Structure 1
Amino acid sequence: MACNAPVDISGRLEGIEKEDIKVYLIEPETLQQVAASYLGKVIDSAVVDTDGSFEFRNVPKNKETVLLELAVQHTGKAGNYLQNDNANRANYMPIVLKSREPLHITARVDEFQKSFKIENPSEINNALLEVRGIKAKAYQTYLAEKHWQIEEGNELIEKEHAILQYKTALMNFADTTQHLLPALVATRWVSPENDYERVPEFLVNQCEKWNKKQSNNPWVQQLCKLSEPENLPVLIGDEFPNLILPMLTQETLHLKEVLGKKLTIIDLWASWCAPCRLENRKVLVPLWDEYYDQGLQIVAYALESDEASWKAAAERDGADRWHQASDLQGDDAPFLKKIRVRTIPANFILDENGVIIAKNIHGEDLMDLVKNHFKK
């Protein structure tokens, strides 16, 4: 009976208006299941009384410390449905259970994660509450009530920047905390969809950090599997591959043969990509005009399937001034597969040796980066 020793989880929910509320106890069995809908294993449930109280008893325990998730559901919802679209309305909260350590929690039913509190939390649960607060604040600051018109090029870039700012708050926590499980929760909150294409360096850093401390932990091993080079785009600090590119001029070139004497921008774009077209006209053309003679190079790769559309767009934007390449295979472009990128607009900023010094910098930020580089 020792492995099933009673462990109490009790609490009270505010804002109960109906009698069809349950609280579910969910165990993620892999790192990918943390903060993911429908994947975690439901191990218990408790009916919420009319006064908002609920209680779990005799929770199975076979680990000294375990990460679980509490989720509040209305009748008809799957117990392991986790809402991630809106941090203000998220219906679940990760907790850490330790042997013989009862937990008492309070929360609002309609803002479960945001309002979640633990009475006298342990140090590790306090860290989970901290990252929850960071997540809530970042969401409110950068994403709440934002309605971008993504067909407008500049607004799509603004949206991507806001999402990156939100993720950066979570990544900063993961980089600085000394608690593994809260760091992994933050890592999963960075992308519940398991898409780290825009922040691959973060995954690599997390693997290196925790592999030094807990290399035998299966979730650390799963984290490091995600961060293997073949699973991520080329990284800042990497030397960009010396690929052979088919050009708009019908020639081919080796990338290293045309590197700028001081800086090279590898720009991934398409004629149908509104923010890419805006970047051509408003950012790349002015940079080219001012810095090409000082050692700037631009090499563009277009996700095109029609040569005429590609050529017309490049000429209209003034982007035919710099090297234009494409395999004319659309989204199935070999170049993107080789550098493991799926999303545009994207770019890589290389130094004179072809080493990546920055990625996915756009608009005024890109102009400032180039300007500052040439001031050195």
Structure 2
Amino acid sequence: MEFRLIILFLAIMCAGGGCKTFPVSGNIDFSGSTLQRTLYLIEVKSFSSLASSFEGKVLDSAQFDVKGNFFFQNMPDKEGQNIYLLALQKPGEKFLTRLENENPLASNYLPFLYCPGDKVIIFSKALSMLKEVTIKSKIPENIVLQNLSRKRVEWYQQYFLENKSADEESHIENEASKLNYQKVILNFVKEEKNIYVQSMALRWASPAGDYERLADEVREVCTKLKVYDPEHPWTNQICVKSTSLPPVTGDVFPHIFFPTSDYDSISIKKLLATKLTLVDLWASWCAPCRKENKQVLVPLWDQFHKKGFEIIGYALDSSEKGWKAAILNDGADRWKHFSHLKGDESPVFETIHMTMIPANFLLDSRGVIVAKNLHGESLKKFVEDYFRS
């Protein structure tokens, strides 16, 4: 089918005499779409601006013929491969670089790689530019981008639309679905060496640029790109980003001090258990945290504490009364709890570059992070397996 489309397109372009070829051309099916019939070529200048609304630069625009064919006669003569976006806009849209990222099913743009001398042919549908995109090019990574684009839509439907719950106490399950979605995107390009493919996956994993839950993955991409493309400016941008994220698995947990009731402080090193310690980051007002206290942490503590398991609770609270009441009500008074009672201004959260709860870190007897952000059955299984080994 794709081959027939290409032959048809070339026949149209060659009709009436000399055959013209263009660096970038293709066809967009506008069936059922109300988007404008103007296609914008957008240049991307940094990692953070990739797939980010209002940050790209419009280089050119192309009009469609009645059958949806388009072409760009001139492309930048920049050395080597570069990534560009093609975008459609709604009627009356003032910002020509607006990109739909909330819902990949309704994406109004698609990425592609171009190298001077290449001929890129692109087919898609205006209703969902990513869902059925086809890219023909001499650059093999364009096929990876094509498949990643299609898979992004498929995974969004699988992890978001099919598993989404409006119940506040289902927050952990929803976050788990989101994290699985993000990780499957990154795993899809795990073996790829191309910086633009790796960058596109990172940006699509979190279009808002929030990588707090993906610190391990960002660190891994940074490490790979230092080998594959160390001189590219985006490598440095990604690696700088990784330094502002929480500690990752394999790191020694930061040497932090918790405030005590006698206005002193205690080092986390003095609180570590002989085998496994869970640093639990929570708050009395966090419904999923409270649910986890009762249904997961209490049973785990009861079962494994005498075998060398400890829990350290640190709360993002501002009310001492509410915090202590929650501890008692949840049966969480079995283990030690700390809080600076400064709410979002917590110095502990600032030190470990975190903002979101519920969250946790599992530390071995030396304080090395062996796992993080495990909840529910995943947390139970990890602890059980750890003590079984």
Q: TM-score per shorter chain, which class?
A: over 0.9
Alpha-carbon distance, 1:7 to partner? 4.7
Q: Distance in 2 between matches of 1:252 and 1:62?
A: 57
AA of the residue aligned to 1:188: R
Q: How many Å apart are 1:21 and its aligned residue?
A: 2.0
Distance, in Å, in 2 between the alignment partners of 1:208 and 1:71 is 32
Asked whether the 8 Å contact 1:16–1:52 carries over to 2, the reply is no
Partner of 1:86: 103
Please state if 1:274 is matched with 2:290: no
**Worse overlay, 90-99 or 173-182:** 173-182
Change in Cα spacing, 1:252 to 1:201, as seen in structure 2 (3 Å) is same
The equivalent of 1:344 in structure 2 is: 357
**Whole-Å separation in 2 of the counterparts to 1:212 and 1:247:** 45
Instruction: Summarize deviations over 1:188-242 as a string: whole Å, max 9, x none.
Output: 11111111111111111111111112211111121121122xx111121111123
- Cα deviation 1:144-188 (Å, max 9, x = unaligned): 25442242x2x1111111111111111112321132221111111
Match of 1:106 in 2: 123
Report if the CA contact (8 A) 1:7-1:59 is conserved: no
- Report the alpha carbon displacement of residue 60 of structure 1 after superposing the two structures with TM: 3.2
Aligned partners of 1:69 and 1:93 also within 8 Å: yes
Call closer, same or farther: CA 1:366–1:146 in 2, change over 3 Å: closer
2:90 corresponds to: 74
The one-letter amino acid of 2:294's match is: R
* Structure 2: gaps of 5 or more residues: 1-20
> Would the aligned equivalents of 2:35 and 2:88 in 1 still touch at CA under 8 Å?
no
Deviation at 1:121, TM superposition (A): 5.5
Q: CA deviation at 1:374?
A: 1.0
C-alpha separation between the residues in 1 aligned to 2:82 and 2:71? 19
Give the equivalent residue in structure 2 for 1:334.
347
Relative to structure 2, which stretch is displaced further, 278-287 or 86-95? 86-95
Partner of 1:25: 41
Is there any run of 5+ residues in structure 1 with no aligned partner, and where?
A: 1-5
Please give the alpha-carbon distance, in whole angstroms, between the structure 2 residues aligned to 1:260 and 1:192.
39
CA gap 1:341/1:19 in 2 versus in 1, 3 angstroms: closer
| SS class of match (1:106) | strand
Matched, 1:292 2:316: no
Pair 324,248 (structure 1): closer, same or farther in 2 beyond 3 Å:
farther
Using the size of structure 2 for normalisation, the TM-score is 0.90
Matching of residue 142 in structure 1 with residue 155 in structure 2: no
1:303 aligns with 2:303: no
The answer to whether structure 1 residue 63 and structure 2 residue 79 are counterparts is yes
Q: How many residues align?
A: 367
- The superposition leaves residues 282-311 of structure 1 with CA deviations (integer Å, 9 ceiling, x where unpaired) of 000001111111111000001111111111
**Which residue does 1:13 correspond to in 2?**
28
1:205 maps to amino acid: E
Q: Distance in 2 between matches of 1:242 and 1:29?
A: 38
- What's the C-alpha RMSD, in Å, of the aligned pairs? 1.8
Please name the residue that 1:3 is paired with.
none
Which residue of the partner structure matches residue 183 of structure 1? Answer: 198
Give 1:137 shift: 2.5
The one-letter code matched in structure 2 to 1:9 is: V
Return the alpha-carbon distance in structure 2 between the equivalents of residues 243 and 112 of structure 1. Answer: 48
Q: Tell me the alpha carbon deviations over residues 246-288 of structure 1, each in whole angstroms, 9 at most, x when there is no partner.
A: 2457664221112111110000110100000000000000011
Tell me the TM-score normalized by structure 1: 0.93
Q: Which moved more, 1:122-131 or 1:242-251?
A: 242-251
Counterpart AA for 2:166: Q
**Cα gap change, 1:204/1:41 in structure 2, threshold over 3 Å: closer, same or farther?**
same
Alignment partners' CA distance in 2, 1:324 and 1:367: 21
| Contact persistence 1:247–1:323 (CA under 8 A) | no
Give the deviation of 1:74 after TM superposition: 2.5
Q: Distance in 2 between matches of 1:357 and 1:56?
A: 51
Distance 1:364 1:145, change over 3 A: closer
Q: Is the partner of 2:384 in helix, strand or coil?
A: helix
Q: Percent sequence identity over matched residues?
A: 37
Closer, same or farther: CA 40–116 of 1 in aligned 2, 3 Å: same
1:36 aligns to what? 52
Amino acid at match of 1:173: F
Amino acid at match of 1:297: E
Q: CA offset at residue 317 of structure 1?
A: 0.3
Residue 284 of structure 2 aligns with an amino acid whose one-letter code is S
Q: What is aligned with 1:161?
A: 176
Are the equivalent residues in 2 in contact too, given 1:135–1:170 (CA < 8 A)?
Answer: yes
- Checking the alignment, whether the CA contact within 8 Å between 1:72 and 1:112 is kept in structure 2 is no
- Shift in CA distance, 363/248, structure 1 to aligned 2, threshold 3 Å: farther
Of stretches 54-63 and 324-333 in structure 1, the one that deviates more from structure 2 is 54-63
Instruction: Assess, with a 3 A threshold, how the Cα gap between structure 1 residues 240 and 19 changes in structure 2: closer, same or farther.
Output: closer
